[in-house]
Structure 1
Amino acid sequence: MNIGDKVRLLRAKEQGVVSRFLPGNMIEIEIEDGFRIPVMRSELVLVSPLEAERLLRTSTFAPQKPAAPQSPAILSNQGIYLAFIPVNDREYTLHLINNTDWEFPYLIGEESAGAGGGIQFIGLQSGVLKPKSQQKMNDHYVHAKFDEWPTFVVQGLWFRAGKSSLRQPLIKRFKARASTLFKAKVTVPVLNQPGFQTQLDAESAEPAQPVPASNRNAQPRPTTIRPEELKAEMLKAKSETGGISVERPSAVVDLHTEALLPKGTGNRTPADLLKLQLDTFEKALENAIASGMSDITFIHGVGSGALRTELHKRLGQHPNVKFFEDAQKQKFGYGATKVTIK
C-alpha cells in the first residue's frame, strides 16, 4: 500500500486515497470533500482497478477536472496557476492548475536551504495536466507556519497534437509573500472554488522583459536607507536640493569576486568576500530604486548556492521589490537573478 492508492474501509462505506502513513500501524486517508481521517491498516483494503477508475471520476481528490469539450476559435495559451485552497481557518491545499488549451507535462517540487548553505530540492509530484484540468498535492500547508513555507519550483512543457508552434519550457520558482498572496481571495479557475493564486506563465508585451507569475514577497522589514525619500529629493528643484545625486548602477551587476576585485582577493577570507558581494548588491539595489530604474539583474553564479540564497532572502523581505526571478537562461544560464522594482 502506497501514498496515492485508492482504498476503502472494511466496515464502513467510506473510500478514499492514502495521503500519509502514521505511527502505530495507522494510515491517514482522504475521503470526500477533502477530509482526512486516521484508520488502522487492518481496516483498509485496496480497491480493484474498476473501483479505482470510478473513484477517480467521483472523488474530490481526482487530479483531472476537464471542462466540457469545446472547440474555441481562439486558443488559450496562458493560464498555469499555483493555487492555495483553504481547507479550514488553519490549513491550505496546494493545486497546480492548467487553464490553457495545451497539455502540460510537469514536475513540481519544493526548494529550501539545506545543510552547509546549499539548496535542497524535494520532488512533490509529476504528471501530465490535460487542458482545463488541475492536480492537487498531498500535503497541507499551515497558515501559522507561513514563514517556513518553501520556494515552490514548477517545470513544464507544452504539447498539442498536430501542427503548433514550438514553445519554450516553463521553469518558475515561487516564494509566497503574505502581503500579496493573501491580498485578495479569488475564484480559482477550473476548480471554481475561492482561494489564493499566482500565475506562473504571465508574459509581458516585450519578450525581452518577461513578467513572472510569482510574486516572491515576504513581510516588509525596516531599512536604514529610504529610497522613496531619496527619489523625492531628486525630483525637487535644484534650489531646494543640496546637490543630492545618486549614482545610477549598471542594468547588470556582476557579483563574482574576480569582477569586484580584478587585482586579486589578497588575504581576504571567504567571509570577507561574501560581505563584499552582499554590500555591493545592497548598494546597487538601493541606488537602482532611488534613481527610478524599473529592473536590475545580479549575476551571482551557481556555486554552492549560498550567495543566491542570501540574495533571494533579502529580496523577499525588501518592501520596494515587486518580484524577482531567474534571469534569461539563454544569456546568463542559471546564475543570475532579475529584480523588478515597484
Structure 2
Amino acid sequence: MAITTKAYGAISEKEPLKPLDIKRREVGENDVKLEISFCGVCHSDIHTVRNEWGGSKYPVVPGHEIIGRISKVGQNVKNFKEGDLVGVGCMVDSCQECEQCKKDLEQLCDKGATFTYNSEDKYLKGERTYGGYATQIVVDKEFILRIPENIEAAAAAPLLCAGITTWSPLKHWNVKKGDKVGVIGLGGLGHMGVKFANALGANVVMITTSPSKAEDAKKLGAHEVLISNDEAEMKKHKNSFDFILNTIPVGHRMDPYIALLKYDATMVLVGAIEPLDPFHGGGLIRGRKRISGSLIGGIKETQKMLDFCGAHNIVSDIEMIDIKDINEAYDRVVKGDVKYRFVIDMASLKE
C-alpha cells in the first residue's frame, strides 16, 4: 500500500521545481514516519535535479537534510516514539549484511546504499526514493537520527550532510588539539569544517582565494586566513599543515595545496566529484604525503557528530526560505550567494 504526499520536485532536467504528489509506503513494523519541519538545500540536490552527474530519474524530489517530529512508529520500533525530534540524512537503507555495513559504514555498502532520493525504492515496486522537499517521509528505524533538543532544529538540518561530510574525515584522520588544520573553501562544507576543527582544538587556517571572506572565517572559528593566490603567503606556510580538508566543489589545481602539507600528512577531498587538473607526483613522493577522499559517514558516526553538536552548541549558519523560492535559491547556490546553507521551512509547502 502507498500513501500520497505533497512534495516539490522536477519532472525533467530542463524544468524548474514545482508542486508534485508522490507516493510513500505505509508504516511497516520497522519503520518510522515523520512530519518534515525543515529540509536543507545541498548542492547535490541541484546536480541531481539538473542531471549534471548523469543518472537522474524523473520525477526527482531532492532533499537529504531532513528534520521533523515522529508521527507514527512501527511495532518493532523501541528507541523512538511519537513526538521525538529526529533527522534523516543522505541514506534511508543499505544491505546491513556486508563487511562495510557491519563496520557501521553503510554509505560504502557493497550492494550500494539506498540514498534518500533518486535510488530504486525497495518497497514500492517501480518507484524511486523521494527526498525531503515533502510534507512527510517513512524510513527504516536504523536510519533515523536523534536530534539534540537544545540546538536550533532548522540550523541542525545541514548537519545531516554538510556536517557529517566534514566531521567524518576530521575524526578518521584523528585531528586533535594543537594540529595545524587547513580548510580550503568557505561554503556550506567549509564553514562546518572550520567550526568542527576549532571545537576539536586545532589551529584552524581558512584557505581561500577571497580576501573578503577573512572576517567571516574568523567569526566562524578560523585562527588565521591564507589567501591561496598570494604566492608569498603560500610559501610561508609550505610543508606546515598536519591535515587539509579540501571542500572545493569543482576541478582545480592541486599542486599548491599539496605543497602545504607536512611529510606524512593528508589532504582529504570532500567537494569535487569530477576530474581534477593533473598534478605532479613529486609533490607527494618527496614528502610521503597523501591525498584521500571521504563520503559522508555511517549512521553511528553521524549520531556521534550530532551528539557532539549538542554538547558544543554547534549548528550551521543558515538562511531560511519558503518552498516557493527554491528555484531562485538554486541559482543563488550556484553563484555562491548564501551564507552558508539554505534551509526550507516545510510548513510553507503545507500552506
TMscore range, shorter length:
under 0.3
TM-score by length of 2: 0.25
Greater relative CO (CA pairs within 8 A, separation 6+): 2
Decide which structure has greater helix share.
2
Choose 1 or 2 for highest CA Rg.
1
Decide which structure has greater strand share.
1
TM-score by length of 1: 0.26
